[in-house]
Chains A and B, each alone.
Chain A
Amino acid sequence: MRAVLMRLAGAVPTIFGVVVVTFLLTRVLPGDTATYFAGPAATAESIAQIKASLGLDQPLPVQFWRYLVALGHGDLGMSLTTGQPVLKELVTRLPASAELTLCGLFLAIGIALPLGVLAAVRQGSIIDHACRIISTAGVSLPVFFTGLLLVYVFYFVLGWAPAPLGRLDTFATPPRPLTGAFLIDSLAIGDFETFRATASQLALPAITLALFALAPIARITRASMLAVLGSEFIRTARASGLSGPKVVVTYALRNALLPVVTVLGMVFSFLLGANVLVEKVFAWPGIGSFAVEALIASDFAPVQGFVLTMAILYVLLNLGIDLLNRAIDPRARRAA
C-alpha cells in the first residue's frame, strides 16, 4: 500500500510537467483560434472580441495561471468545436473509447496468447508460420484499411454486421449510465437486448483493433516462451516426467508472462489514443477523434484535457502493470 502511494506521489511532477508542456505546445502551434471561430465574414473587431472573451489577449503567464486555477477547480475549460465543457466530453467519451479498446485488447489476447504459445511449442510448424503471417499482416495493414474492408465485406456486401452508426443502432436507447460502458451497464440492469445490440455494434471495430494489437502480443509471447522453454528448469521439469501441458502452462507460461504483461500495457495505452481512425470509420464517439478534431481547429482546451487525461491514465496503467508483475513474479516483489 505504501509503495502504491509512493508511486502515485512520484507521478505528480510528471503530470505537472505534462501540464506545462501541453500548455506551451498548444500556444506555440501556428493556428489562430479566434480567427477560426470568428467564422466567415469576420471583421478585425469581431476577431478581437473573441480573443478577449477567450482570454487569449492576455500575456502567457497570466493565461497559464488562469488555466492552473481552473484546473484546481476541476475545470478543464470549454470545447469550442462541440460547445461543451471539456470535462463533460471526456467523461462521456472516455468510456466509449475504453470499452472499444478493452474489447479489442481482450480479443487480441484471446487469440494472440494461445497462438504465440503454440508457435513457440511447435517451432517451425504450420502454426508457427501462421503466427508469423498473421502478425505481419496485422501490423502492416493500416487500421483504417482493415476497418473499411471489414465494413465493406460484413456490412455492405454480406449484410451480417449492423450499420456502422456508432455505439448503438439509431432506434435503440442507451442503458442508464452506470460505468459508461454499454456492455456492463446493459448487463447490470438485465437488458439483454441492448447488450446484444451493443455487442454487435462493437464487433467490427473491436476486431479491427484486435487485428492490429495481435501482432506485438503474439510475437512477444512466442519469443518469451522460446527463451523460457530453452532454460534449465524446463529441462529439469521434463526430465522429472511432468506432463507436457503442465510444463508449458504452469512452468513455462507463467515465467514467460512478465514481458507479455508489460507489452500489453503499452499496447493498451497506444490503442486508446491511436484508434482515432477506427473511431472515424465506425463513427465511434471516442476521445481520440475528439482530440484530433480539436487540434485541427486549434481548440486548445480539449487538446490539453486529452493529453492530461492520457498522462494520468498512463501513470495509473503503469502502476497497475507493476502490481500485476509483482503478483506474477515474486522477484519483482523483493526488488521494490
Chain B
Amino acid sequence: MKRRTLIKTAAAAAALATPAVRRTAAQAPTRNETLIVVQEYGPNSMDMQGIGAAQPVNGVSLNCYDTLIRFKRIPFAEGIMTHDLKAYDPALATEWQVASDGMSCTFKLRKDAVFHSKRPVTAKDVKWSMDRAVTIGGFATTQMAAGSLEKPEQFVVVDDNTFRIDFVRRDKLTMPDLAVTIPMIYDSELAIANSNGDPLAKEFLKNNVAGSGAYKVESWKPGSETIYVRNDDWKCGPLPQLKRVITRDIPSPSTRRALIERGDADMSYGLPPKDFKDLAEGGKVRVAAVPVPNAIWYVAMNTVNPPFNDVRLRQAVAWAMPYEKIFNAALFGRGVPMWGGPETVQGTKWPFPFKYKTDMEKAKALASAATGGTTVNTTLIFDAGSATIAEPMAVLVQEALGQIGIKLEISKIPGANFRGELNKKTAPMVINRFGGWLDWPDYFFFWNYHGKNSIFNVSSYQNKEMDALIDGARFTTDETVYDTDVKGFLQMGMDQVPMVSICQPFHDVAMQKYMSGYTYWPCREPDFRFLVKGA
C-alpha cells in the first residue's frame, strides 16, 4: 500500500518533468516576428536621463525614443553593422546646417513625425527635452556637458519645425553627443500633463515611455521581463521587421548559454568570455564580436602615494605583466592585445599597443633601482562585479609581481563600494575597465589622465604638461596641432604608465545564425529597429 503511494508520488514527479507543450501563440505576431532576448538584468527605469538609470535603460531610449540625428550605420562583418561617429543619418531632424561662423546648428524637424500619443513632434518638445537633459543632474547632464551642451539658453525654438542649438564653444564632440541615448525627444505635453507639478516629470517618465520611437513598451516587469511592440506609425526609418520583442532577465550565465544553444532564445547578452569563446568556436550560433571603441582593461597605479609614485616601479610593473597569460586565461582571447607595440607612438589611434611586453630582466632591474632590493607590500583591488575576468587577472598579476619583489594583497570590493573606493583616490593598484562613448583619444585621456582628477583618473595622475596637451587636442580645429598634441599625450601616457594597458575588450553578443542587421552602438544595447529574423 505504502509502496504504491511511493510509486505514485514518483510517477507524479516524473510526469511534471515530461515535455512541456510548446504553445503556438494565438496572437497576431508569430514566433518569426517575435524576438526573444535573454540578458542578465533589464531596465530599472524607462527614462535614460533619470538619475540612477542602469545600463539596459539605454536600450529603452534607443528603441522607444528618437534623437535628432543618428550615427551612420556601416558594415563591420557578416550580419554585423557598426557606426561612424563622424557621419549622421536623419532621425527626427531631416536636415541640419552648421552656421558659417561654426557657432550654431539649425535643425529642420520631420513634419510627419508623431509621438506614441499621435501628437506631432514640434521644436517645443525638442527644447523641453534638451533643457531637461542639461538640468536634470547626474549622468545625463555630465554626458551633455561632454559635448559642450551646458545650459538651456543654448536651445532655441525658431518655429514649430525649426530648432537651433547655439554653441558655447567649438567642440567636435557636440554633434556626436546629439546622437547618443541621452538627448532623446520626449512628448513634453504628455509629460507635463502627468507631472504632478514636477517640471521635469521625473516620476512619470521613469515609469512610462513618452516618445516617438519605433517601439512601445507593452509590459515592463522590473527584474523579470520587458515586452516591446512595434510602433507602426514610426517615421524616422524603415518599418522594423520585428513586431514584438521579449527581453527576459536571466541572472545565471549558464542558463543564458543553454538557452541560446538550445535555440529557445534568439540573442543572448553578457556571457563570460569563456562561453563566448566556446560558442564562437562551436559554430552553432553567431557571436558578434566588436572591439569596444575607446575601451581598455588596465592595471592602474596610484601615482601620488608610495610605492608607485616612482615611475621606475610603474615601468617595472609594465615589463613584468604576464600579458599573454592574462589574455588567454582571464579574457579567453575575447579582445585585442594592447601590448608589445613600437617604442614611439605611430599615429593618433587609441587604444594602441603599448611598447611593454613580458621581460622579467628589465622589470627586475627597474624594480631594484626603485626599491633598492627591499620587498614592497601593497594592495590590488578590483570590482567584485567583474570578478569573472578581474579575479584570474589579479592572481596572475600577483604571481608575476611577486618575482620582482612586489608582494600584492588582493582585495575584491563589492560593486556598491567600488566607486566609493575609487573616489577615495588611495588604492595603490586597481584592475578596471574604462570605455568612453565618444571614440576620441582626447576624450579618454580627459577622463583618465587629466589633472581635474575625475573618478576615472584611478591613478590620480597629475601632470601640467599632460593637461596642456589634452586640453589643446580637445578644442583645437587645426589638424596638425591635434596630431602633435594627441601623439604627445599618448607617448607620455605610455612612458609614465599611470595605467598599464592590457587589452581592448570585445563586445560580444551571441545570436542565432538566422539573425541579421545587428548594429553595434556606443551604448552597446541591442537595437531592434534594424534586426531581421530570418527563417
Contacts and interface: CB of A to CB of B under 8 A. Distances in A.
A117 B51 CA distance: 58
Contacts of B464: none
B468 interface: no
Contact of A283 (B25, B51, B252): B252
Interface string A288-308: 011001001110000000000
Contacts of A285: 221, 223-224
B100 to A, nearest CB: 33
Interface string A267-293: 000000000000111110100011001
A58 interface: no
B16 A199 contact: yes
B249 interface: yes
Instruction: Pick from B13, B143, B385 the residue with the most CB of A within 10 Å.
Output: B13
A236 interface: no
A77 interface: no
A81 interface: yes
A50 B142 CA distance: 14
Interface stretch (B90-98, B168-176, B410-418, B488-496): B410-418
Contacts of A193: 21, 23
A206 B53 CA distance: 34
A197 B258 contact: no
B118 interface: no
A46 B138 CA distance: 5
Interface stretch (A59-67, A151-159, A314-322, A328-336): A151-159
Interface residues of A, number: 75
Nearest to A156: B258
A93 B36 CA distance: 23
A80 to B, nearest CB: 5
Contact of A163 (B9, B41, B254, B264): B264
Interface string A98-128: 0000000001001100110110000000000
Interface in B141-167: 141-143, 146
A230 interface: no
A280 B252 CA distance: 5
B44 A83 contact: yes
A154 B415 CA distance: 34
Interface residues of B, number: 69
B255 A33 contact: no
Contact of B248 (A114, A162, A166, A197): A166
Contacts of A280: 251-252
B357 interface: no
B77 interface: no
Nearest to B31: A171
A166 B254 contact: no
Interface string B251-268: 110110011011011000
Given A42-B142, A163-B262, A283-B249, A201 B447 contact: no
B530 interface: no
B350 interface: no
Given A42-B139, A285-B223, A161 B17 contact: yes
B248 A38 contact: no
Contact of B419 (A32, A160, A203): A32
B480 interface: no
A41 B6 contact: no
A82 interface: yes
A31 B414 contact: yes
B51 A50 contact: yes
A80 B45 CA distance: 9
A72 interface: no
Given A155-B262, A298-B416, A83 B455 contact: no
Contacts of B225: 166
A162 B52 contact: no
Contacts of B251: 279-280, 283, 289
Given A41-B143, A111-B9, A114-B2, A164 B420 contact: no
A249 B38 CA distance: 50
A200 interface: yes
A41 B143 CA distance: 8
A172 B248 CA distance: 13
Contacts of A204: 17
B138 A50 contact: yes
A207 interface: yes
Interface string B1-25: 1100110011001001111111111
B25 A31 contact: no
A280 B256 CA distance: 11
Contacts of A160: 17-19
B137 interface: yes
A169 B34 CA distance: 14
A77 to B, nearest CB: 14
Interface of A: 30-33, 35-43, 45-46, 49-50, 53, 80-84, 89, 92-93, 107, 110-111, 114-115, 117-118, 148, 151-152, 154-156, 159-166, 169-172, 193, 196-197, 199-204, 206-207, 245, 279-283, 285, 289-290, 293, 296-298
Q: Which 5 A-B pairs have the closest CB atoms?
A: A31-B416, A298-B416, A82-B222, A200-B20, A162-B20
29 contacts: A30-B417, A31-B417, A32-B419, A35-B423, A38-B51, A38-B138, A39-B139, A41-B139, A41-B447, A42-B142, A42-B419, A49-B51, A53-B51, A83-B206, A107-B13, A114-B6, A152-B258, A156-B261, A165-B248, A165-B250, A171-B25, A199-B16, A207-B13, A280-B251, A280-B252, A283-B249, A285-B223, A296-B384, A296-B416
Interface of B: 1-2, 5-6, 9-10, 13, 16-25, 31, 34, 36, 38, 41, 44-45, 51-54, 137-139, 141-143, 146, 206-207, 221-225, 246, 248-252, 254-255, 258-259, 261-262, 264-265, 384-385, 414-417, 419-420, 423, 447, 454-456
